[in-house]
Chain A
Amino acid sequence: MNLDFLTQAGLRLPANVSAQHVVVDATQWSHSALRMRDLGARLLTVWGADDRDRDGRFRIFAAFLLPDQVLLLEHAPSGGALGYPSLTRWFPVADRLQRAVYDLLGMEADMGDTRPWLRHGGWPEHFFPLRRDADATGPHPLDSRPYPFVTVSGDGVHEIAVGPVHAGTIEPGHFRFSVVGEKVLRLETRFGYAHKGIAKRFEGRRLLDGHHLAARISGDSTVAYAWAYCAALEAITDASVPARALALRALALERERLANHLGDLGGLGNDAGLAFSLVQFSSLKEEMLRLNEEAFGQRYLFDYVVPGGVVAELDEEVIPALLDEASRLEQRVAGLRTIYENHAGVQDRFRDTGVLSTTLATARGAVGLVGRASGVAQDLRVDMPWPPYDRLKTRMVLAADGDVAARVQLRFDEITESLRLCRSLLDTLPPGACLVALPAATPNQLGMGLIEGWRGPVMMALESTADERIRRCHAHDPSWQNWPLIDYAMIGNIVPDFPLINKSFNLAYSGIDG
């Protein structure tokens, strides 16, 4: 991509992928964003930092996904000012990201929605936890006010409010449907219920301890987050991670993808009325978790990826069991796929339900699994393969229709591809150590880790202090991009199809609430 619109050359940003870091003024900030929109880049994330202790300024960062690299824009309004040009003009996804920046730091975009996003009245209006002088320990009295949802009016229109406590075992979020009869005219989502102050919690922790917290940003993506954190840390320490450790991390990441896809496929069949599928897929998932326990010492791989490698060596004796499992899974999943495809009732519920068109997905910057099911060809494992994916030659899986059926098909195809990657990793497992000690981090250095988790790109931006601690750490979940799209996918569908459509997206709550 031609970046000649940048008036100065970018500096290389330490990261596991190719990344540039450019410091810009307000005019350049807007101009670069406009040019990147025209060039088809996608906005990945926005975050802010309080650097008043250094140079009296606040800073705003925006990371863009280009076809083969990441471009990070940094803008520090002069004189400690809090305003910056809003990116919502060109990237609708910036809206909620900027609202979250305001709630945590008080930096204000000059345009867009100003309703609070993360602050539900649990802390005062002019308390900004990410400011260096904020006392983030204390409890504040609850002062909740009604959230002004956008209302739809007309003959027979009424609202259905769902959440934050749902009927099943799922995470907290609120869904406000405006309906006529059972047809949905509008869906508006509200999140932030699981906000745990993670960004503030990172500050001051030792760099070598941060992965424990990163692993708990979204439990179902624990490997992706821990890897993204460790990749950022390893970039700013300029560490060389052994090839064996990288291969084992990739194995863990693919197993995480497989376990989640198996769970989702079972849930999707069940939501379409085929309870048989939940029984089948949930037992396949359980068998996989049990093998995880044998091979990695735990069912879910929390804290398996650590700075410098992975926490435990893979026992040679368990490799045949992992290979056997891959063959068995492939066969069992293929059988179940045939059943799904031949089942008229299931197909009737899946097809043309919750459609996200390619045009809309492209325009609104869909990423990851949801994007690929709507024909958006983006997969970091293919586009900017970081080690060991650079030697694995991952095949991109795509679907065009953007309906529930497409998201189901994508999961089936990704299972096949992930199993191929697992086999390839096990067959070519490099010898050597699986953990090394990290050198000291460069003081006051920003680094980035970017990993294609099972939902899509997971990013961690990490800045060190002078004494091996975390100055600022920002986590980004791909669900920030994809949640607003569910509102579109629901339009014209019926209320009873919402659980099915929601499950087919299966987006993170804790992951975006932070």
Chain B
Amino acid sequence: MFDILNTIRRTGLLDKGSPKSKNTEAPLDKLQRQLQTVFGRALRIRHVDAGSCNGCELEIHALSNPYYNLEGHGIAFVASPRHADVLLVTGPVSVNMEEALKRTHAAMPEPKWVLAVGDCGACGGIFGTSYATRGPVNAVIPVDAVVNGCPPTPLAIMQGLLQLTAKRPA
């Protein structure tokens, strides 16, 4: 127990550190403040992998680490679509996942947003459309905003969440 407490003390708070990036992304703390202001610490996300290579999932996982600390700012991932405000979809939609994606979307209560994450979800990416894939997410369910990148960085996904408010659900 003493070791655990000591490690926690030595680690301190990490969520103020922006990555040293050459890209022109907004600083982390500014994004965190904006997310809190816009969503009032009350946004719930359900993620569906509709055929991704799992690269995007790695960066979605990173949103929960102590640096990005999404949950600390009131945005949480939930286990059921019935509890979610946002459906976050990755991958070119594979034909084998089409039905499951449609059902998950249908299970969400209104109002709802859909955010397609990654180049595949945005435009089909390197996999495109074929006998096995339907291509971008909006070929299967309506999409409100997209985040490009292969994979997109956690900061880009946070910015993508902010874009959702540009198109408010009816």
Contacts and interface: CB of A to CB of B under 8 A. Distances in A.
B131 A200 contact: yes
B104 interface: yes
Interface residues of A, number: 64
Nearest to A281: B65
Interface string A213-231: 1001111101000000000
Contacts of A300: 55, 58-59, 151
Interface stretch (A30-38, A332-340, A378-386): A332-340
Interface in B108-136: 125-134
B20 A194 contact: no
A142 B132 contact: no
Interface in B30-86: 47-62, 64-67, 77, 79-81
Interface string A163-174: 011011111100
B46 to A, nearest CB: 9
Given A167-B79, A170-B57, A276-B4, A293 B131 contact: no
Contacts of A127: 131
A158 B64 CA distance: 35
Interface residues of B, number: 57
A196 B124 CA distance: 11
A283 B49 contact: no
A289 interface: yes
Interface of A: 118, 120, 122-123, 127, 129, 134, 136-140, 142, 144, 164-165, 167-172, 192-198, 200-201, 212-213, 216-220, 222, 263, 276, 279-280, 282-283, 285-286, 289-290, 293-294, 297, 299-300, 302, 335-336, 338-339, 342, 508-510, 513
Given A213-B126, A220-B54, A300-B55, A193 B65 contact: no
Contacts of B3: 335, 338-339, 342
B47 A197 contact: no
B8 A276 contact: yes
9 contacts: A122-B94, A137-B130, A164-B97, A168-B79, A169-B49, A169-B57, A195-B96, A216-B55, A283-B67
Contact of A137 (B50, B59, B129): B129
